[in-house]
Structures are given as C-alpha cells and as structure tokens.
C-alpha cells in the first residue's frame, strides 16, 4: 500500500504537485491519469525518494522510503526513460543491481525469463530497441520481488505486442495481490488496464474512483437518429418530450430514450430514418472534459482552420492525438489567450452546456 498525504512539489514559481492525498491499494491495478505536465512523474519520483517534497509525505507500507531496509524488495519501479548502463549487457545491468541490493544471482535469470529477454541477456543494452529497453526496465523493477510496483507511462512508444504484454503483466501482478500503480496520459489505455483511477490535472486531484464508477458516471449514452425530414422529427421529438441535440443537418442525438421507442415514434409520424443507433460517448472525452480546465497547453489551430467540433461525437477524438496537452505543447498557458477553435478546452464545454439545455 502507498499512502500519499498532502504531497506538494514546487519548482520555483511552478506548483508541479499540489496537495495530493490518495492511497494506492494492493490487489488491483491503479491508473494514474493526467495530461502531460499534470505532475505524474514528479509524484512518482517523490514516492521513490528521488525528489524531495516541498511538503507532505509518502508512506510505503507505513514507512518512509528511506526507512525501508531493502527498498527494492518493497517497491520496484520503471520510470520514464529508464537509465541503464548501455555498455553493460542486460544480464550484467541486472546483476549489479542484484548484488548491491543483496538479491540472489538466480533471481536475475528468473526476471530475464519473465520479461522474455533470456535470448539477448548477453547483449549490451545500448543496442536494445525501445521495447527491449522497457522490458529490461521492468525486469529491474521485478528484481526484488516487491509487493509494490510502479510504472511511469510504460506503454509509450511500444508496438502493439509490447503494449499487450505489459497490460497482461500488470494485471497478473495485481492478481497476485501486489500493489500496481501505473501512469498514463491516455484514458483509452487506462480503460483497458486499470481497476481504479486517480486523475490529476495541474498537480491537483480531480478524481479518485473505481474504473466502473468512472465509466458509469462519465460515459453519456444516447441514440443517434438521422433523417431527411429534420423538421418533422424535431416536432415529433418535442411532442414526445424528448431532449435532443441537432449535431448536423438532419442528425439528432437523443438522450433518455431507447432506439426501439425512437423507431416507433418515427414510424407513427411516417418519418423516414437513414440512421438509428445507440451510442456511448468515449471515456477519452469524459477525461478531457474533466481535465480541460487543468491543462497547461492547448493545441493551436491556425486562422480559419476548422471549426469547433459539432458535438460530443464518439470516436471523434482519436486516442493519442487528442490527448490532453499531447506532445509538443505549442499554445500559451490557459488564461493568456482565449482557447483556439478545435481545442477541447472551454469553448467546447460551453458549447456542450448550451446544447444540453435541449434543442
């Protein structure tokens, strides 16, 4: 178990981590989600005593990190851009770590086998691909057979096979009763891996919830109806007391009604339908709405480039591209300039508030 209490980190004027308090429990995968720059890596570094908190504390199984006699046997971690000695073989990298932490030599062979690097154990790690490097980093995290494991953005840059492997490993470790804490800036990734979710934005806690509850509360469901007779459908929906949002000419999003009932309604009014489908808003969207206020940078849309999104259309924001603060931050900090169209910032939220008042 990891207990974070009032954890705060200030770099000059920048408050990177802002009074965070939460617990990470054993037996489940806990996702640590937040846009780039939210303070995930800083929090994780403080958990490992690699950075000093400005205030607050972290306890690992009830103790401070520096009070742990053999830290690697309590907590193992893969941090971003794991530094390994490139001139050493994979085996020797792990052996050094084992010897300096009183871990038996045969454990090196075990973890190499667990991460699938046995065949390349005698190769120098500087020649490793990103995926192999991640596997070696994970091997070092597993070396002390710790009860607590922490992974900072472990799937970044991995191929699908590597991503699948890491997900399976994290779930297996949690199923063994270990505490597994994994960060990501992608909701789509967390949705597939995490049982519990801790969401932060600009260093602050935004949500601490089970994945199931997050989905339940944040994934809006609605029916999409498309017709060549929008006037008639609008009247029919109004007559039935149904709130609808017209997202495009002739396309409606209707909340609080099943597709069956809508099909009947259209038939009764002799309205032709070109589409009638049940939809669920993506979790990526829910995450982006939650963190919109807390994002440091917005993508910049050039003059005349595109228009604000018509509405919360599922699948409109591809995972990895529309990710909050994704990659190369370009825009100014929030508040210095109105958010440009095509971002998922305040404009979007406001638009949505208006639309949700009904068509």
Q: Contact between 41 and ligand ADP (CB under 6 A)? A: yes
Partner touching 245 among Mg ion, ligand ADP, none, CB below 5 to 8 Å by kind: none
Between the two ends of the chain, the Cα-to-Cα distance in Å is 49
Residue 358: CB atoms within 10 A of its CB come to 12
The site for ligand ADP, by CB under 6 A, has a size of: 11
Q: Choose which of 7, 29, 41, 297 interacts with Mg ion (CB under 5 A).
A: 41
Identify which of residues 22 and 91 has a Cβ nearer to ligand ADP in the complex: 22
Identify which of residues 8 and 92 has a Cβ nearer to Mg ion in the complex: 8
Partner touching 201 among Mg ion, ligand ADP, none, CB below 5 to 8 Å by kind: none
Helices 283-291 and 346-356, packing angle to 10 deg: 110
Counting every residue written for the chain, the total comes to 359
Q: Cα–Cα distance between 345 and 297 in angstroms, integer?
A: 10
Phi, psi of 18 (to 5 degrees): -125, 90
Q: Choose which of 2, 7, 16, 225 interacts with ligand ADP (CB under 6 A).
A: 16
Least distance CB 38 / Mg ion (angstroms): 8
SS in 3 state form for 157-209? CCCHHHHHHHHHHHHHHHHCCCEEEEEECCHHHHHHHCCEEEEEECCEEEEEE
| Region of 115 on the Ramachandran plot (φ > 0 left; ψ -120 to 50 alpha; else beta) | alpha
Partner touching 218 among ligand ADP, Mg ion, none, CB below 5 to 8 Å by kind: none
Q: Residue 310: which of 257, 352, 264, 268 has the closest Cα?
A: 352
- Rounded to 5 degrees, what angle do the CA atoms 252, 318, 273 make? 20
Partner touching 38 among ligand ADP, Mg ion, none, CB below 5 to 8 Å by kind: ligand ADP
Q: Choose which of 7, 24, 29, 38 interacts with ligand ADP (CB under 6 A).
A: 38
Q: Cα–Cα distance between 182 and 198 in angstroms, integer?
A: 10
Q: Residue 291: which of 207, 165, 181 has the closest Cα?
A: 207
8 Å CB contact between 244 and 311? no
Identify which of residues 43 and 93 has a Cβ nearer to ligand ADP in the complex: 43
Q: Which stretch binds Mg ion (CB under 5 A): 35-43, 204-212, 253-261, 301-309?
A: 35-43
Q: Cα–Cα distance between 63 and 191 in angstroms, integer?
A: 31
| Beta strands at 148-152 and 75-78: parallel, antiparallel or unpaired | parallel
Q: Contact between 334 and ligand ADP (CB under 6 A)? A: no
Q: Choose which of 37, 71, 201, 250 interacts with ligand ADP (CB under 6 A).
A: 37
Identify which of residues 38 and 340 has a Cβ nearer to ligand ADP in the complex: 38
Least distance CB 158 / ligand ADP (angstroms): 17
Least distance CB 34 / ligand ADP (angstroms): 5
Q: Contact between 11 and ligand ADP (CB under 6 A)? A: yes
Identify which of residues 206 and 271 has a Cβ nearer to ligand ADP in the complex: 206
Q: Contact between 144 and ligand ADP (CB under 6 A)? A: no
Exposure string of 317-337, with b = 16+ CB inside 10 Å and e = fewer, is beeeebbbbbeebebeebeee
Q: Contact between 345 and ligand ADP (CB under 6 A)? A: no
Half-sphere exposure of 160 (CA within 13 A, CB side): 0
Identify which of residues 36 and 342 has a Cβ nearer to ligand ADP in the complex: 36
Q: Contact between 53 and ligand ADP (CB under 6 A)? A: no
Identify which of residues 35 and 144 has a Cβ nearer to Mg ion in the complex: 35
Identify which of residues 36 and 282 has a Cβ nearer to ligand ADP in the complex: 36
Q: Choose which of 31, 39, 53, 250 interacts with ligand ADP (CB under 6 A).
A: 39
Q: Contact between 42 and ligand ADP (CB under 6 A)? A: yes
Applying CB under 6 A, the residues found at the interface with ligand ADP are 11, 14, 16, 34, 36-42
Applying CB under 5 A, the residues found at the interface with Mg ion are 40-41
């Amino acid at each position: 178990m990891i207990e974070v209490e009032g954890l705060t980190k200030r770099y000059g004027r920048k408050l990177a981590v802002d009074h965070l308090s939460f617990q990470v429990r054993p037996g489940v995968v806990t996702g640590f989600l937040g846009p780039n720059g939210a303070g995930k890596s800083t929090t994780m570094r403080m958990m490992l005593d690699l950075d000093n908190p400005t205030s607050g504390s972290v306890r690992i199984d009830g103790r401070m990190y520096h009070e742990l006699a053999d830290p690697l046997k309590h907590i193992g971690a893969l941090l971003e851009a794991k530094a390994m000695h490139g001139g050493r073989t994979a085996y020797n990298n792990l052996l050094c770590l084992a010897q300096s932490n009183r871990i038996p030599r045969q454990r090196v062979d075990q973890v190499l086998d667990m991460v699938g690097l046995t065949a390349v154990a005698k190769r120098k790690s500087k020649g490793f691909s990103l995926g192999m490097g991640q596997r070696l980093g994970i091997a070092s995290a597993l070396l002390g057979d710790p009860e607590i494991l922490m992974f900072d953005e472990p799937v970044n840059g991995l191929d699908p096979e590597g991503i699948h492997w890491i997900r399976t490993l994290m779930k297996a470790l949690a199923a063994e009763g270990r505490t597994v804490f994994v960060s990501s800036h992608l909701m789509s990734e967390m949705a597939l891996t995490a049982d519990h979710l801790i969401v932060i934005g600009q260093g602050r806690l935004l949500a601490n919830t089970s994945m199931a509850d997050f989905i339940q509360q944040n994934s809006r469901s609605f029916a999409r109806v498309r017709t060549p007779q929008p006037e008639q459908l609008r009247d029919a929906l109004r007559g039935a007391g149904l709130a609808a949002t017209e997202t495009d000419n002739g396309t409606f999003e209707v909340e609080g009604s099943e597709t069956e009932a809508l099909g009947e309604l259209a038939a009764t009014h002799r309205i032709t339908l070109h589409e009638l489908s049940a939809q669920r808003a993506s979790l990526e969207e829910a995450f982006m709405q939650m963190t919109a206020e807390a994002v440091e940078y917005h993508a910049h849309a050039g003059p005349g480039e595109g228009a604000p999104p018509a509405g919360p259309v599922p699948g409109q924001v591809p995972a990895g591209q529309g990710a909050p603060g994704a990659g190369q931050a370009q825009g100014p900090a929030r508040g210095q300039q109105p958010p440009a169209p095509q971002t998922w910032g305040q404009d979007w939220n406001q638009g949505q508030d208006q639309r949700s008042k009904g068509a």
